[in-house]
Amino acid sequence: MEKIILDGRIVAQEVKDSLVNRVEVLKSRGKVPCLATILVGDNPSSETYVRMKQNACETIGIKSIRIHLPEETNTQDLIRRIHELNNDDTIHGILLQHPVPSHIDERLAFEAIDIKKDVDGVTSAGYGQTAFGFGSYPSCTPSAILRILKYYQLSIEGKHVVVVGRSPILGKPVSALLLNEDATVTTCHSKTRKLPDILKQADIVVAAVGKPEFIQGQWLKDGAVVLDAGYNKGNIGDIDYESCYEVASAITPVPGGVGPVTIATLLKHTVDAAERL
């Protein structure tokens, strides 16, 4: 069986290459696309993610503003800062780095982001529009998963997709996006019974459970397409890569799979927003 390694770095580069001219056109009109990233506290992983996003912005000429708030910031202060960014015409995209400290109401903070600047697809209104098929900025990781499938010309229509995970910014929106592409979607979660039996029926598996090396190769159908959206400590995904590799027909590595395309999608959404605002 021919096996495809779904290299997200190639897909991400294609997306970024397509943005360079669009950014130059905007700049020629006096508008510099700008992404504001909010980091609350000193989570080392979050700091790494923010730095990666800033570096990616710089490579194609997008301005990146980093707002680093102290750990003790409360929900009201965070929302006040978000409203300031909403009202700043030079800011086109707003990203609140997840997770925020536990004393903050993260959902309330997400909802404060203007939907026109919700380039990370975290608001409930944005999710609703995505589910109905007309959202401008679907959540970036779900969008990245679809982009990888389409880049490698892997059929979605009529396929049985099993999504393992139901988070509001990954599992649920990717299920909605795949359903809109005419897949038959089963969304599994921590209360799902006989998960291995369900995975055995899947043509496409999306791992979004947040548990390192959780999904095992013996749970998969021969020839399944496997997309690992997990990113755990030590650059480990949500699948047991070695055992899944033996069974899959196509598989994303970690790192170098879904992650780079997620960041490229964020850049695309920021440029889209700059063109619209």
What is the set of domains in the chain, with CATH numbers?
30-116 (3.40.50.10860), 140-258 (3.40.50.720)
Find the catalytic residue in 7, 16, 63, 97: 97
**pLDDT averaged over the chain?**
95
Active-site residue flag, 153? no
Q: For residue range 61-119, list pLDDT tens digits in order.
A: 999 999 999 999 999 999 999 999 999 999 999 999 989 999 999 999 999 999 999 99
pLDDT of the residue at 1: 63
Q: pLDDT-derived band of residue 234, with 50, 70 and 90 as boundaries?
A: confident
The active-site residue, picked from 7, 118, 120, 238, is 120
Q: What is the pLDDT of residues 130-169, one digit of tens each?
A: 999 998 999 999 999 999 999 999 999 999 999 999 999 9
Q: What is the pTM of this model?
A: 0.94
Catalytic residue chosen out of the listed positions 53, 63, 117, 268: 53
Task: State the DSSP string of the chain.
Answer: ---EE--HHHHHHHHHHHHHHHHHHHHHTT---EEEEEEES--HHHHHHHHHHHHHHHHHT-EEEEEEE-TT--HHHHHHHHHHHHT-TT--EEEEPSPPPTTS-HHHHHHTS-GGG-TT--SHHHHHHHHHT--SS--HHHHHHHHHHHHTT---TT-EEEEE---TTTHHHHHHHHHHTT-EEEEE-TT-SSHHHHHTT-SEEEE-S--TT-B-GGGSPTT-EEEE---BTTTB-SB-HHHHHHH-SEE--SSSSHHHHHHHHHHHHHHHHHHH-
